[in-house]
Every structure is written in C-alpha cells, then in structure tokens.
Amino acid sequence: MFESFVIMLREGIEAALVIGIMMVVLKRTARRDLESSVFWGLGLAVLASIGAAFALNRLPINEEAYEGTLYMVSAVFVASMMWWMHLKAKTLRMEIEKLVLDTIGRASSRPSLKESWGLGTFAFLMVFREGAETVMFLSAVNLTTDAVLSFVGALLGLTLAVIFCVMFIKGSLQVDVRRFFAVTEWVLGIFVAQLLINGYHEFSETGVLPATQASMAFVGPMVRNNSLFILALIALPLFIWFTQEPRESKLGSGASEVEKRLARAKTNRERNYRYGAMASALVVLLFVGIVYAKELVPKTLTVPEPVLREGDFVVIPLEKLADEKMHRLGYPIGERMVRFLAMKTADGRYRTGLDVCRICGDFGYIQEGQNLVCLNCAAEIAPITLGHSGGCNPLPLESTVKEGKLLIPVQALESQAPKFHAQPALEEIDPVCGMRVKLSDAAAFETYEGRTYHFCSIKCQNAFQADPSQFVK
C-alpha cells in the first residue's frame, strides 16, 4: 500500500506543481480568461490517458518509444514556459500595472486562439505524460487484499497530489511576483532536466539513441531514483512560503469597520492557505524522503542457486518456481558462472532469461515489488517480458517444460558463457573431507540453512545429509 501510495504521489506531484505554476501565473497576470483552456487540457488528458492505456494493453505499441516521445515533447513545452517566465520577470511590474489600468478602463479582450491552444496543449501534456500508466496501474486491481490495499494507496497518493496543487495555488497568490518567478524558473529547470534524462533513457532502450554501459550507468540511477528530483521541486516553493509572510491589505484612513473586517478576513484566509501549502509540502517531503532513503541503500546480487544436470539439460523442478518470484540460478562453465533467471509469471507461464543485458553487460537484475530492475541502469522490466529481446531486457534463453520440470539446454548456456566475467576462484571446500572442489566438477550439492555446500563425491553428500550440524561451523 505504501509503495503504491508513493508511486502515485510522485507521478501526480510533478503535474500538480507545473499546473499550479500555470494557474498562479494566470491569476497574477490578470489572465483568468485563459483558465478554461487549462481545464479543457486537463479533461482531454484524462480521456486520452484511458484511450492510451487501452492501446498499450491491446495493440503492438512500443512502450519505450511512446514514453520517450512524450518525455521529449514535454521537455520542449516546459522549457518554452521557463524561457517565457524569464523574459516576463524583467518587465512584469509594468505589464501588471498596464493590465490593471486596461481592466479598469474596458472589459478585457478575448484570449487569442494561439494562447488558448498553447496553454491547453501544455496542460494536456503534463497530465497525459504519466496518465496512461496511472490508468493501467489502477485498472489492474483485483479482489485480493494486497491488490485492494495497493489501489487504495494509489488513490490516496493522487488525492494528496491534488491537495498540494490547490494549496500551492492558493498559498502563492500573495507571494512577491519577482521572487515567485525566480524560484519557479529553477523548479522548471529541474523538471526539464528530469524529462530529458528520462527521454534519453527510453529512446536508448529502443535503439533510437546510442547507449553504452557507462551512459546508462549515469542516467539510470537518476531515472530510478527520481525522488531526489521531487524533493528539489518541492523544497524550492517551500522556501518561498517559509521566508515571506502574506502582505497586509492596505486601506485608506477613511475605511469603514466593515472594510477593515473584510481585509482582516482576507489576510487570515491567505495566511491559512499558506500554512496549508507548507503542511502539504512537508507531508510530501516526508513520504518521498522515506522512499529516497530506501533508494540509497546499495543493492547487490544474491548468490546464484545451483542447478542439476540431467544429460544434455539443466533441470529445475517446477515446484521450485511456484512462488512466482524471480530465481537466480547458476551453472559453472570453466572459470565462468553462467547466471540465468527463471520464474513463473502471473499468466501461469514459465519464463527464462540470462542474467545479462545487451547494453549493460552482466551487472544482473534484482526483483523489487512486481518488477525486475537492472543493477546498472535501473531500468524496470515487467516479468512478462522476461525472455523477450530488446532494450535492457535480460537476454533470451531457450527453455521447455516437460514432466514437471523446466529444461534448459546445456549447449545454450555454454554458448553464452563469454558474456560473463571469468572468476578464477569458482571452487568451494567440501565440508566433509575438506577437499577443494571446483564447482564445475562437484559431484553433488546440498542447501542447508540458506547456504549451498558442494561435495567431491556422493559418499561425502550422504555423510552430510545424515548429520549436517556435524560439518557446519
């Protein structure tokens, strides 16, 4: 539940922050006539997200190319908004005064078609960018307890993002305009950087942009650990609210008691919105900070589980994969340990793949939640794509199911051995006789209390099975 809550909060808070900035700018520059364009963009984005989620599930669409395109297009729009705000900040005071005078003298003119379409498209992209994945996430719920809790957590995350957006708008209306524009330029700059990095990561997985092990190792953690971007995005506006009190309404000396009460009520209302904005921002920082702290914990590969060979095949009993978790297995070939992955996925199929990637090499994968994650570039891999080529997916590995066993040809493993680094120390000490045994020459192995022991002969294995505690120190 907590994981889905934070995922939806992180996805929603980015769109909420940028949409909030747009609304504040429109209000502060007396262009509320353009707000309807923003709302139209938001509404169309929700409908388009539902349609895109259907298309991604049913049609042969390359998800990485789809996401990469949205990231890059969104980056262009956000960058254009940032540049516009940079130019406006220099002449803002004169323009606001002129707008006020024009409003007093005559009714404001209707917004141009270019302005309406521009703002509507911008709002559309900010929501649609992650909308399809959000719809897919929420629609995948079933009636198990874990799934329902995950669904509730996701809704709570989206709710908190919306609350933050409302409080951001209300709490920023009385902030000094120049300071607001200066800080939001930094916010949007960070956002542009995040979009470009994500776009490169997705396009590199599809092969559209060149990628190396080093480049993916550089951008991967930024894509995976995007909590740092969220923390920076929230911390900047929080700084404004903490460092500036709302301004008191100025009244002339002849103001009536009613006017004074209304002015005091307005000031108190603005102060309460400011406190609400700070409180919602601190809550977001707390939850995202917890996840960021978890992301900083180093992740390492587990020791591969040994496998048995029967004739020309490596054999894995199907009951071993019944837990529907990723299993890392290893078969020693000379000085190399050929690691491969096997698991039973939610559709009931048994899938296999090498623990190596075309781009990143043999860094390997771990399982986090439902997805597999590359330890080099942090790409998330859906289990149902295990065994499919492309992107940062584990390289395909031939396998068949027969008589309650998963069979993998030894020849297939031997042909892939060069993809793994040599490890001269691939040997263990037989706990019974003390003899050094090369893993590739071991006669048998046993797992006891989470550790695997290798034996030089069946005789040593039998002695160990009779009383393991006698040989384990």
| Amino acid symbol at 223 | V
What is the per-residue pLDDT for 100? 44
What is the per-residue pLDDT for 326? 92
Residue 109 token pair:
């003119």
What is the per-residue pLDDT for 69? 78
What is the per-residue pLDDT for 361? 84
pTM, rounded to two decimals: 0.57
What is the per-residue pLDDT for 104? 41
What is the per-residue pLDDT for 190? 75
DSSP state of 419: G
Q: Tell me the CATH class for 305-424.
A: mainly beta
* Backbone CA torsion sign across 26, 32, 35, 37: negative
**Residue 434: φ, ψ to 5°:** 80, 5
Can you give the residue ranges of every domain in the chain? 2-295, 305-424, 426-473
Residue 251 token pair:
């009244």
Q: Contact, 388 vs 380, CB < 8 A?
A: no
DSSP, collapsed to helix, strand or coil, labels residue 302 as coil
The residue among 338, 334, 268, 272 whose CA lies nearest residue 304 is 338
Residue 68 token pair:
């990469």
| Amino acid symbol at 183 | V
From CA 75, how far away is CA 246, in angstroms rounded?
A: 33
What is the per-residue pLDDT for 174? 62
**Residue 70: φ, ψ to 5°:** -65, -40
Mean pLDDT, consecutive 10-residue stretches, the chain (473 aa), reads: 62 72 74 80 81 66 69 75 65 52 47 73 74 58 52 72 75 64 72 79 76 76 67 71 62 70 78 79 78 68 82 91 90 85 90 89 85 82 82 88 92 90 74 80 74 83 86 78
What is the per-residue pLDDT for 266? 76
Bridge-based pairing of strands 327-333 and 305-306 is parallel
Residue 92 token pair:
């803002």
From CA 224, how far away is CA 66, in angstroms rounded?
A: 18
